[in-house]
Structure 1
Amino acid sequence: MSSELLAVRGLTRRFGGLIALNNLSFSVQEGEIIGLIGPNGAGKTTAFNAITGTVPPSSGTVHFNGINISGGPPSRVVAAGLARTFQSTSTYPNETVAENVYRGMLSRIAGSAVGLLTGRRNRNLSPTSIPAEIDQILGVTDLQSWRNAAAGSLPYGLQKKLGIAVALATQPRMLLLDEPAAGLNHEECRDLTRLLRRLRDDGLTLLLVEHHMALVMDLCHRIVVLVQGEKIAEGTPEQISQDPAVIEAYLGAPDYAHA
């Protein structure tokens, strides 16, 4: 791993009297695939929202590629090179697959209103290059044959993949995936794993929230575990699978580690 790309330090988010995230710190090195796991309500999506500027942190900082992006706004975070997907499909159902990918490019098109609003200065795209880049992204995500289909007509698994394609259209250095395997069958999960490995091999850094533990253990270099908004463990998949605190959090059985 070459360098620290994402640094989360003391990240806390309160909603009234509820502390949804408490003093979370971890880092992601360029080229890593990191998993963020925990039981329901652990604060995983809140962490994603605070990192990407969807909600401002109550305290703590987020640095991406040496830039303080704490508190967003999301447009500034995307312009810095950090993109995300969401738990549910978030495409424009009545527009074609290609048109959805095009929407992901808007902040990068030189001279476009969206590009000017976000203040983006790097990885800009000339209008004449748009069709070729759409084709390239559809090729990477195996969506070429669905290019002209309405996004809402795609099977659920392909809609999830389209969400990744739209995020890739922003040309990020790092991609945050919020439960990318949710609702997928076994073969779709295998296909997703292949895609994420390819993206990593192509130079993308990945941080994912996921409940599909087999996928996490197979894919991730390191795993961060949250319980009730606090980090209880961090390590390799092997270390995490043997950590008594993690086993207790998931199984509610303190003696399991000694069985």
Structure 2
Amino acid sequence: MTQPLLRVDNITRRFGGLVALRDLSFSVAAGELVGLIGPNGAGKTTAFNVISGTVPPSSGKVLFDGRDISGGPPSRVVALGLARTFQSTSTYPEATVAENVYRGLLSRISGSVVNRLSGRHDWLLQPDGVETEINNILKITDLFAWRDAMAGSLAYGLQKRLGIAVSLAARPRMLLLDEPAAGLNHEECNELARLLRRLHQEWGLTMLLVEHHMALVMALSQRIVVLVQGEKIAEGSPQDVRDNPAVVEAYLGAPDYAHA
């Protein structure tokens, strides 16, 4: 049996007397696009924080490519090839779009201080290849036209896309996407879906997607994990999840949810 790229193994996370995650287990195979859904307070962001090394699990472990990454630190997790985006825009507003992507490249530039500290040896860039790599990332994310614009001047949807571009600069093997469609209008959501499909199909990027936009999740995900109050209540194909009575009762609600 092929070893999964990511394995979350019986994770529990407590904050004082609050149990945010309870005995959570699931896996993501290389090249797979998996959705992680649930109502507000279900534990999705806590799960991302544990997986990305921002907070340690109270018990259980997280394995990435067979390595135990439980408890991080996040810099080591990123160096191993697991990157994350955030719900809010996380760019440098007073730097240009290209400069923002450059910051994401630092761990890959051969001989740089950041590269020596990160210990990365895969996807290394020679200094004379940096401009080409920046341009390639901006082209695949449809941001090349704004290359020299200040990040803070971009429309909100473009800033969210720039956050993905910065994450891609580290050349991750897997990307954790934390509500990438939050605050986007209908057309921006369609553009986001096209981008994620392109990254999945052309780059072979493995993805774990947390999102409340159910039409987007159902259209993109090959498999979906459902959390409610910190516990997994279902896992399966989009159709399996859509038809699961426990999921409908706890989260999806009326049959026309996908149009919300």
Q: TM-score, normalised on structure 1? A: 0.95
> How far off is 1:121 after superposition?
2.4
- For residues 81-113 of structure 1, the C-alpha deviation after alignment (integer angstroms, 9 at most, x for no partner) is 000100000000000000000000111111211
Structure 2 counterparts to residues 212-251 of structure 1, below 5 A = 212-250=213-251
> How far off is 1:119 after superposition?
2.0
> How far off is 1:2 after superposition?
6.6
The gaps in structure 1 that reach 5 residues or longer are 254-259
> 1:138 aligned to 2:138?
yes
Q: Determine if contact 2:157/2:188 at 8 Å carries over to the other structure.
A: yes
CA–CA separation in structure 1 for the residues paired with 2:36 and 2:21 = 13
Q: Determine if contact 2:3/2:65 at 8 Å carries over to the other structure.
A: no
Q: Structure 1 stretch 162-171 or stretch 10-19: which is displaced more?
A: 10-19
Aligned to 2:258: none
Aligned to 2:82: 82
- Three-state SS of the structure 2 residue aligned to 1:164 is helix
- Three-state SS of the structure 2 residue aligned to 1:180 is coil
Which amino acid is the alignment partner of residue 224 of structure 2? I
- Three-state SS of the structure 2 residue aligned to 1:34 is strand
Percentage identity across paired residues of the two chains: 72
CA–CA separation in structure 2 for the residues paired with 1:118 and 1:42 = 33
> How far off is 1:67 after superposition?
1.3
- For residues 128-183 of structure 1, the C-alpha deviation after alignment (integer angstroms, 9 at most, x for no partner) is 11000000000000000100000000000000000000000000010000000001
CA–CA separation in structure 2 for the residues paired with 1:251 and 1:170 = 35
> 1:175 aligned to 2:175?
yes
Q: Using a 3 Å threshold, how does the CA distance of structure 1 residues 180 and 252 change in structure 2: closer, same or farther?
A: closer
> How far off is 1:225 after superposition?
0.3
> 1:4 aligned to 2:8?
no
Q: Structure 1 stretch 61-70 or stretch 219-228: which is displaced more?
A: 61-70
Q: Report the aligned-residue RMSD.
A: 1.3
Q: Determine if contact 1:137/1:165 at 8 Å carries over to the other structure.
A: yes
CA–CA separation in structure 1 for the residues paired with 2:27 and 2:4 = 7
Structure 2 counterparts to residues 55-204 of structure 1, below 5 A = 55-201=55-201, 202-204=203-205
- Three-state SS of the structure 1 residue aligned to 2:116 is helix
CA–CA separation in structure 2 for the residues paired with 1:161 and 1:41 = 26
> How far off is 1:241 after superposition?
0.4
> How far off is 1:124 after superposition?
1.6
CA–CA separation in structure 1 for the residues paired with 2:11 and 2:2 = 24
- Three-state SS of the structure 2 residue aligned to 1:4 is coil
> How far off is 1:56 after superposition?
0.9
Aligned to 1:25: 25
CA–CA separation in structure 2 for the residues paired with 1:102 and 1:3 = 33
- Three-state SS of the structure 1 residue aligned to 2:114 is helix
The gaps in structure 2 that reach 5 residues or longer are 255-260
- Three-state SS of the structure 1 residue aligned to 2:5 is strand
**Dislocated runs of 4+, deviation >3 Å:** none
Which amino acid is the alignment partner of residue 243 of structure 1? N
Which amino acid is the alignment partner of residue 84 of structure 2? R
CA–CA separation in structure 2 for the residues paired with 1:123 and 1:215 = 31
The count of aligned residue pairs is 253
- Three-state SS of the structure 2 residue aligned to 1:63 is strand
Q: Using a 3 Å threshold, how does the CA distance of structure 1 residues 252 and 161 change in structure 2: closer, same or farther?
A: closer
CA–CA separation in structure 1 for the residues paired with 2:80 and 2:38 = 28
Aligned to 1:209: 210
- Three-state SS of the structure 1 residue aligned to 2:95 is coil
Which amino acid is the alignment partner of residue 52 of structure 1? S
